[in-house]
Structure 1
Amino acid sequence: MNAPVEGFSKFSKEEKIRWIAQNYTSYPEQAEQLLKRYWNTDAAVQKIHDEFIENTISNYYLPFAIAPNFLINGEYYAIPMTIEESSVVAAASKAAKFWLSRGGFKTEVLGTEKVGQVHFMFKGDTSKLSRFFSEIKQDLIKDTSGITRSMEKRGGGITNIELRDKTDAIDNYYQLHCTFETLDAMGANFINSCLEQLAKTLKEKASAHSDFTQEEKAVEIVMSILSNYVPKCTVKAEVSCPVEALNEDGMSPQDFAKKMVQAVQIAKAEPYRAVTHNKGIMNGIDAVVLATGNDFRAIEAGIHAFAAKGGTYSSLTHASIEDGIFKFWIEVPLALGTVGGLTSLHPLVKLAMEILQNPTAKQLMQIIAVAGLAQNFAALRSLVTTGIQKGHMKMHLLNILNKMGASDSEKKELVHFFKERTVSNAAAKEALQNLRS
C-alpha cells in the first residue's frame, strides 16, 4: 500500500487502474469496477476524454443542466449549467422568470483587452533603458509577425507594448506590459507565444546595443506569461424596473427594494460578507464557464482580483433606487473563448454552444455575466425575505435522503412531508425513521 512508482505515465489505462486500486484503496476489486463504470460506452468519446489530460483512469461526471427563460437584450436563452451544488440552477431559473415580465436583462461589453507581461531584470540606467525600448519597439512587434499574422487578418493581435519600471517594488525589475485582442479565442497560447518571442528579441537587441555597458547588455529574462487579471476585458449586465413591480409575498415592494440595496451595501463594506456574496455570483458564472469549456480557474482568479481592485475585497454587484426605479447590475472581467480548446473537442461543450446559438466571445461574456447577476439576485432575494435555508435545503433534501439510503417511495413521501416544513439533516433522519416504523 502507498508505494511509489516508476514510469506510471507509460502504463496502459488498465495498468494504471490496477496499480492505483491495489496500492491506494482498501477494496481493489470494487475500486477497479467503480472506475470502469464511469467510462463512456462510446469508445470514440472515451478516447477524446482520455486525451484531454494526462494519466486518465476514468471520468468524473458533473450534472449538465438547463436554466430556461432568460431574456437578454430582447432574445430568449436557455442557459446550460454544469455544477454539483443544489439550488443553483433552480435559483438562476427563478430569477430569469422573475425578470422575464420586467424587461429582462440588458448587457454591454465594455472592453476585450487581454494582458501579458515579459518580466525581466536590468541593472543600469532607467533612462537609457527607456530610450532603448523606444528604439526597438517596432522591432519587437515586427519579430512577432509570424505569430500574429493570422490573428491580425481577423482584426486582432498585439494592441500595445509598454515598458514599465517596477524598481520601487523589486530592485532592477522591469516589465514589457503587453495588451492583446484575441477575438473569439481565449488566446492563452497565442499570447504566451508572442511574449516568448518579445523576450527573445529584447534580450538579443540588448546584448548588441552599443549604448549599454556590459552589465546593462546582460538583460535577464525571468519569465514571459499572460495575466489572468483583465480589468479591461469587462462586461456589464443589469436589470431594472419600477419599485412597485417588485411584488413579494409578505413584504411591500418599497421594503423589498430597500433591503436589496442594503444587502449590496453590506457586501460592499464588509469583506466577510463580500466573499460569500461573490461566491454566490460565481456559482452562476462558473457553472456556465464549465458547461462551455472555458477555464473557470482563470475566471475565478481574475474576478476576485477585480473585486479587490479598490484595496478592499468588495461586492461585484451594485444596486440603487432612483426616481422610483430599482436597478441591479454587475460589472465583471471575463476572458473567454468560443473557438479552440475544449470548445471544439468536448461533445457536450459543442452542444452547450449550440444551445446558446453558437455565440461569439463577446456574446458569451454577456450571457455568463447575466448568469452571475441572476444567481446573486436570487440569493439576495431569499436572504432578505424567507432566508437562504428554506429554499436551499428543500433542493438539498434528495441528497440527504439518498445519503440515508431512502427508497424511491420513501423519497416521494418525504418530499411531500417537507413541502411546508423546515428541512435539516436531523429532521430528515427523524422523518425517515418514523416512516419506516
Structure 2
Amino acid sequence: MSQPVTGFSKLNKEEKIEWLNSHYLQNSPDAIKVLKQYWNEDAKLQQLHEEFTENTLSNFYLPFGVAPNFLINGKLMAIPMAIEESSVIAAASKAAKFWGSRGGFKATVINTKKIGQVHFIYTGEKEKLKRFYDYIKPVLLDSVRDITQNMEKRGGGVLDIELRDKTAALENYYQLHCYFETKDSMGANFINSCLEKFAHVFQAEAENWKEFTSEEKDIEILMSILSNYVPECVVRAEVSCPVEQLSEENGMKGEEFAQKFIRAVRIAEIEKYRAVTHNKGIMNGIDAVVLATGNDFRAVEAGIHAYASKNGTYTSLTHAAVEDGIFKFWMEIPLALGTVGGLTSLHPLVKLALDMLQNPSARELMEIVAVAGLAQNFGAVQSLITTGIQQGHMKMHLMNILNQQQATPEEKRIIVDYFRKNTVSHSSVITQLEKLRQQ
C-alpha cells in the first residue's frame, strides 16, 4: 500500500512523473510516453501552461474549432469553440446558417451587476446593528478607494451595499450584500479584495461603536466571497421569423414544425428530467465558447443552473411561442464574463479566439455566448422533432469509433462512404469494418 507523499510540490516535473509512475502506473513506459508527447516543444510556452496551475505533468488538449456564419445584431461572425463532443459545432453551424437567412440572431445585455457578500454572525439587538450599518456604509465605500480607483476610471466600481437579515434561516446570521460593476473584467479578484476590506473595516469599527455592548462588539466574520449567482447580470438572445419560413427540407410545413417545436420546449419547461438534458444542450454551446475565450465555465455553469431554478423548480432556459404568425424562440441567462485579465492576455489560443471575435467587450461577449447557447439548443430540438438526435450525432461519432478500432485512412474513407446512406451504430460500424478487413 502506498504511503502519503511529502514535499511533492517541490519535485520537478520529471520527478513528479517518475513518482506517479512507480506508485500508481505500474512503471509503465507507455504512461511516461503519453504524458511527454503532449508537452509543447516551445519551452517557454510549456512553462506558461505549467504556471496556470499546480503539480502540472502535461497538457490536456481539447479540439479548438469554429462555427461560422453567425449573424448577430446584423454582424456576421465566426465563433471559436473548444469542445470534445461530437456534433456540437456542426449543430451550432447548421442553426447559424438556418437563421442567417431569416434575419439572424438578436442579443441584448439587460444588466451587468455582479454580487459579493460578507457573511457574519451578530448576537445583539437588530436595531443597534441597523444604526451601525447606516453609519458604517459610507466608511466602507471610502475604505476601498485605493482598490476601486482604476476600475472607476473604466466606469465600474462598487455600486451599493445592503445589510441583509438572514436570522430566519440561520440563527444570528447576517450579510453585507454588495453589488459591483467590473466592466470588461470578470472581476473576481477585484470583488474579493473589496469584500475582504469591507469585512476588516466592519469588524474593526464595530469594536469602537459606543452603542454596542462588549458582547455585541464581538462580530464574527465567517467569510467574504463573490457569488457566481448573478441574476442581475443577464443577457437575452432571440430569433424570430414568419411561421411559413420554418418549412423543413424533410417536407414538414412551417406550422407543424412550430407546433412541435413549441411543445418540445414546453415539455422542458414542466418536466425537470427533460429540462436538465435540454439545458445541458444549451451549455454545450455556451461552455465551448466560454472555454475558448479563457473564461470560467464552472462558474458560468453553476450560475446558469441556479437561474434555471430561480422560481423554485428546475426548468427550461429557453422558451418558444407563435404570436401573430411570427415564431419566436428566446432565452435570458446570467453571464459574468471578462475579456481582460486572467487567461485573456496569457493563453495564446484565448488571445486568438478573442481576435477572431474582433476583440469584443465583456457585454459583446455575453451576447455572443448567449447566441451560441440558443443556436445549439435550436439545433438539438430541431433534430429531436424531425430526424431524431442519433442520426446526426452518430455520424459525427463515426470517426471516434473508427479511431478506437485503429482504422487506416483507406478503411475510414470506405466506411464513411458506406454510412452516408446507412444508419450509424457502434455495432454496425464494427461489423462493416470486420467485413472490410476480411476482404
| Structure-1 residue corresponding to 2:213 | 213
Contact in 2 for aligned 1:207/1:217 (Cα 8 Å): yes
Residues 293-350 of structure 1 deviation map (CA, whole Å, 9 limit, x = unaligned): 0000000000000000010000000101011100101100000000000000000000
**How many angstroms does 1:30 deviate by?**
1.4
Q: Are positions 1:355 and 2:356 aligned together? A: yes
2:398 & 2:29 partners in 1: Cα distance?
32
Task: Give the letter for the 1:363 counterpart.
Answer: E
Could you list the per-position Cα deviations for residues 93-151 of structure 1 after superposition, in whole angstroms to 9, with x for gaps in the alignment?
00000011000000100000000000000001111101110011100101111111111
For the 8 Å contact 1:3–1:23, the answer to whether it is kept is no
CA distance in 1, matches of 2:42, 2:153: 39
- RMSD, aligned α-carbons: 0.8
Cα drift, residue 34 of structure 1 = 1.2
Distance, in Å, in 1 between the alignment partners of 2:45 and 2:228 is 31
1:229 paired residue number: 229
Offset from partner CA, 1:224-263 (integer Å, 9 cap, x none): 0000000000100100000000120231111001111111
Could you say which residue in structure 1 is the equivalent of 2:367? 366
Residue matched to 1:125: 125
What amino acid is aligned across from residue 184 of structure 1 in structure 2? D
**Amino acid corresponding to residue 101 of structure 1 in structure 2:** S
Q: In the alignment, what sits opposite 1:398? A: 399
Match of residue 177 from structure 2: 177
Indicate if the aligned counterparts of 1:239 and 1:328 stay in contact, CA closer than 8 A: yes
Alignment match, 1:276: 277
Given the alignment of the two structures, is residue 53 of structure 1 paired with residue 48 of structure 2, yes or no? no
Unaligned runs of 5+ in 2: none
Secondary structure, in 3 states, of the residue corresponding to 2:183?
coil
Q: Give the structure 2 partner of residue 193 of structure 1.
A: 193
- Secondary structure of the 2:358 match is coil
TM-score, L = length of structure 2: 0.99
Q: Are the counterparts in 2 of residues 64 and 80 from structure 1 also a CA contact under 8 Å?
A: yes
Match of 2:311 in 1: 310
Aligned residue identity for 1:238: E
Mapped contact 1:35–1:58 kept (Cα < 8 A): yes
For 2:415, the equivalent position in structure 1 comes to 414
Compute the displacement of 1:351 (Å): 0.3
* Structure 1 letter corresponding to 2:355: E
Structure 1, residues 164-212: CA drift from partner, whole Å, max 9, x if none? 0000000000000000000000000000000000001110111111001
Q: Distance in 2 between matches of 1:75 and 1:250?
A: 31
Give the whole-Å Cα distance in 2 for the aligned partners of 1:326 and 1:27: 61
What percent of counterpart residues are identical? 65
1:27 positional shift: 4.4
Structure 1 residue 28: Cα displacement: 2.5
Which amino acid in 2 is paired with 1:378? G
3-state SS of paired residue (2:420) = helix
Letter in 1 for 2:232: K
Partner of residue 139, structure 2: 139
Secondary structure at the aligned position of 1:420 is classed as: coil
Q: Structure 2: which amino acid aligns with 1:241?
A: C
How far apart are the structure 1 equivalents of 2:409 and 2:153?
A: 59
Which position in structure 2 is the counterpart of 1:112? 112
TM-score, reference length from structure 1:
0.99
Is 2:81 the partner of 1:81?
yes
Contact 1:195-1:225 within 8 A present in 2 as well: yes
Q: State the one-letter code of the partner of 1:10.
A: K
Please report how far the alpha carbon of residue 433 of structure 1 lies from its aligned counterpart in structure 2 after TM superposition.
Answer: 1.1
Q: Within 2, Cα distance between the matches of 1:269 and 1:2?
A: 50
| Separation in structure 1 between the aligned mates of residue 2 and residue 391 of structure 2, nearest angstrom | 44
Find the counterpart in structure 2 of residue 252 from structure 1.
253
* Partner Cα separation in structure 2 for residue 31 and residue 396 of structure 1: 26
The equivalent of 1:90 in structure 2 is 90
SS in structure 2 opposite 1:419? coil
Aligned residue identity for 1:319: A
Aligned counterparts of 1:280 and 1:374: Cα–Cα separation in 2: 10
Instruction: Work out the CA distance in 2 between the residues paired with 1:199 and 1:87.
Output: 48
CA distance in 1, matches of 2:408, 2:128: 77
Whole-angstrom CA distance in 2 between matches of 1:135 and 1:60: 52
> Counterpart of 2:133 in structure 1: which amino acid?
F
Matching of residue 339 in structure 1 with residue 340 in structure 2: yes
Deviation at 1:3, TM superposition (A): 4.0
- The size of the alignment, in residue pairs, is 437
Q: What is the distance in 2 between the residues matched to 1:35 and 1:367?
A: 35
Deviates more, 1:113-122 or 1:27-36: 27-36
Question: Which deviates more from structure 2 when the two are superposed, residues 298-307 or residues 3-12?
Answer: 3-12
Give the distance between the partners of 2:187 and 2:42, measured in 1 at CA: 31
AA aligned to 1:173 is Y
Q: Does the 8 Å contact 1:228/1:301 carry over to 2?
A: yes
> 1:352-394: per-residue Cα shift (whole Å, max 9, x none)?
0000000000000000000000000000000000100000000
Distance (whole Å) between structure 1 residues aligned to residue 158 and residue 243 of structure 2: 46
Unaligned runs of 5+ in 1: none
CA distance in 2 between counterparts of 1:358 and 1:299 reads: 20
Moved more, 383-392 or 17-26: 17-26
Q: CA deviation at 1:2?
A: 3.9
1:285-324 paired onto structure 2 within 5 Å:
285-324=286-325
